């Protein structure tokens, strides 16, 4: 494995607490909040009102939060709810932490945003993203990735009322008490982030690379506001891999030609892509590859000699399009690294790995950890040329 030596700080200092605004509820019309003590509610800068749990929050022309005795707060501005005793609020048995902010939105609904201290957030992501029995150094590598990713996203989120969603659109955040192993990994890597050219790196990660790292700039757009996808350490460089034991290391799917073609058209219509007028697929070629050899851009040829160019992940998403009927997990393409064979009215797709393939590969990291590599060894392989920095440098 190619190992780039990163600068390891001799000791980790405690910086100022950084809070991540995690959206844990989206477009809700109602929510019940349970708690064992009083809840202080505040609309904007008004004085706090003490409510007694359970409280019911409803959307509508404005938000209304009311307790059983009829005491209430209402308004269209964000409403903050805080446990007076500092213990956790819950909804439907789910842990919400000691404080939430409900933000009214058009459509008479509201979002629920939970402020979470950065290191607690990192530990919570590890619980959502890794298996509990995986080794410590794998957790530490993922901790540095999860922290860098969220700090990068926080830098882009200045115009919205949350930094990240709690699901796979960003990182899966479990929310409850983190695993002890996860808390330890966050603590041991406290404040560390990966940097490139003086900026925090968007440290993507995925389940299984299947043997070839993807280039972020081929998988996704990399111009203008998304220029960070062109960072050198995300370039899909050749490296060793160790994820052979991942369940989707190799996979194949057999689908109908018309069915696949029609899903690609549906996706293209919604995305404004030229393939919205496409006929039936006759061939898919790889026209650009990452330095690792992984496909970066595909060309789809139809039965009318139309030729349509797709970024790798766009074609995966297009072939998985849920219109008119969602596909089952057994029919979906798990990654953007595949070959397509069209025979008569059947399409066979043979592929590698699970996920987008950019950055850290979780199954590779687990295996390298078992072989004794440290988190920094691995990050040097996954993000060649990156350097280690601290959250305080970039915020
Ligand atoms: Zn891998």
- The pLDDT tens digits for 285-300 are 999 999 999 999 999 9
Distance in Å, CA 241 to ligand 1 centroid: 5
Average pLDDT, the chain: 94
- What is the CA(207)–ligand 1 centre distance, in A? 8
145 & 201 share domain:
yes
Percent of the chain with pLDDT over 70: 96
pLDDT band at 5 (very low <50, low <70, confident <90, very high): very low
Q: Within this chain, do residues 124 and 138 fall inside the same structural domain, yes or no?
A: yes
pLDDT tens for residues 222-261? 999 999 999 999 999 999 999 999 999 999 999 999 999 9
Same domain assignment for residues 49 and 196: no
Same domain, residue pair 221 and 74: no
Separation of alpha carbons 383 and 258, rounded Å: 40
Ligand 1 centroid, distance to 64 Cα (angstroms): 49
Pick from 135, 182, 118: which is nearest to 362 by CA? 135
Q: Where are the alpha helices (DSSP H) in the chain?
A: 118-129, 136-156, 180-188, 216-219, 257-271, 312-319, 362-370, 375-382, 391-394
Q: Is residue 12 part of a domain?
A: no
CA 149 to ligand 1 center in whole angstroms: 19
Cα separation, 351 vs 395, whole angstroms: 40
C-alpha of residue 61 to centroid of ligand 1, in Å: 50
The pLDDT of residue 15 is 56
| 271 within 8 A of 247, measured Cβ to Cβ | no
Give φ, ψ of 107 to 5 degrees: 90, 5
Q: How far is the CA of 150 from the centre of ligand 1 (A)?
A: 22
Please indicate, yes or no, whether residues 280 and 256 belong to a single structural domain of this protein: yes
Please give the distance, rounded to the nearest whole angstrom, from the Cα atom of residue 135 to the centre of ligand 1.
16
Element holding 308 (H helix, E strand): strand 307-311
Q: Residue 1: what pLDDT?
A: 47
Query: Is residue 205 located within the same domain as residue 77?
Result: no
Q: Residue 35's domain spans which residues?
A: 30-108
Average pLDDT over every residue of 99-103? 97
Q: What pLDDT does 394 receive?
A: 82
Same domain, residue pair 219 and 314: no
Separation of CA 14 and ligand 1 centre (Å): 33
Residue 251 Cα to ligand 1 middle (Å):
14
Ligand 1 centroid, distance to 155 Cα (angstroms): 29
- The pLDDT of 211-223, averaged and rounded, is 94
- Let me know if residue 320 belongs to a domain: yes
Q: Based on the fold, state whether residues 327 and 230 are members of the same structural domain.
A: no
The per-residue pLDDT for 17 is 82
Number of domains in the chain: 3
Say yes or no to pLDDT of 280 above 80. yes
pLDDT digit string, tens, across residues 325-363: 999 999 999 999 999 999 999 999 999 999 999 999 999
What's the mean pLDDT in 68-97?
94
pLDDT exceeds cutoff 80 at 7: no
Three-state DSSP state, 277: helix
β-pairing, 346-352 vs 307-311, is unpaired
CA nearest to 194, candidates 168, 224, 232: 232
- pLDDT (mean) for 67-73: 95
Mean pLDDT, range 316-328, rounded to an integer: 96
Residues 285 and 328 in one domain: yes
| Cis bond before residue 324 (omega within 30° of 0) | yes
Q: What angle do CA 204, 209, 210 make, to 5 degrees?
A: 175
Q: How far is the CA of 101 from the centre of ligand 1 (A)?
A: 39
**Co-location of 138 and 239 in the same domain:** yes
């Amino acid at each position: 494995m190619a190992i780039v030596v990163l600068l390891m700080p001799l000791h980790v200092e405690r910086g100022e607490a950084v809070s991540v605004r995690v959206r844990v509820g989206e477009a809700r019309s109602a929510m019940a909040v349970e708690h064992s003590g009083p809840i202080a509610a505040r609309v904007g800068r008004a004085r706090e009102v003490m409510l007694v749990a359970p409280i019911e929050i409803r959307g509508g022309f404005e938000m209304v939060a009311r307790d059983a005795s009829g005491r209430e707060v209402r308004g269209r501005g964000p409403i903050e709810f805080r446990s007076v005793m500092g213990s956790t609020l819950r909804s439907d048995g789910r842990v919400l932490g000691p404080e939430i902010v409900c933000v009214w939105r058009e459509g008479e609904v509201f979002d629920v945003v939970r402020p979470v201290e950065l290191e607690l957030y990192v530990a919570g992501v590890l619980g959502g993203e890794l298996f509990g029995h995986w080794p410590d150094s794998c957790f530490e590598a993922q901790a540095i990735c999860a922290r860098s990713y969220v700090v990068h996203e926080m830098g882009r989120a200045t115009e919205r009322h949350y930094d990240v969603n709690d699901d796979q659109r960003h990182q899966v955040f479990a929310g409850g008490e983190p695993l002890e192993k996860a808390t330890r990994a966050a603590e041991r890597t406290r404040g560390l982030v990966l940097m490139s050219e003086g900026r925090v790196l968007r440290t993507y990660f995925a389940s299984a690379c299947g043997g070839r790292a993807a280039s972020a700039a081929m998988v996704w757009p990399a111009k203008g506001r998304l220029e960070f996808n062109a960072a050198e350490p995300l370039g899909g460089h050749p490296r060793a891999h160790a994820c052979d034991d991942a369940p989707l290391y190799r996979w194949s799917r057999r689908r109908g030609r018309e069915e696949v073609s029609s899903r690609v058209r549906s996706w293209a219509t919604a995305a404004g892509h030229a393939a919205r007028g496409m006929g039936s697929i006759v061939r898919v070629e790889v026209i650009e590859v990452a330095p690792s050899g992984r496909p970066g851009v595909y060309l789809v040829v139809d039965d009318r000699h139309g030729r349509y160019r797709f970024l790798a992940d766009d074609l995966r998403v297009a072939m998985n399009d849920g219109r008119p009927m969602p596909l089952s997990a057994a029919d979906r393409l798990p990654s953007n690294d595949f070959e397509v064979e069209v025979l008569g009215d059947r399409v066979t797709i043979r592929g590698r790995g699970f996920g987008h393939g950019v950055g850290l590969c979780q199954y590779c990291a687990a295996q390298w950890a078992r072989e004794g590599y440290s988190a920094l060894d691995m990050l040097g392989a996954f993000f060649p040329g990156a350097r280690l920095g601290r959250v305080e440098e970039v915020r």
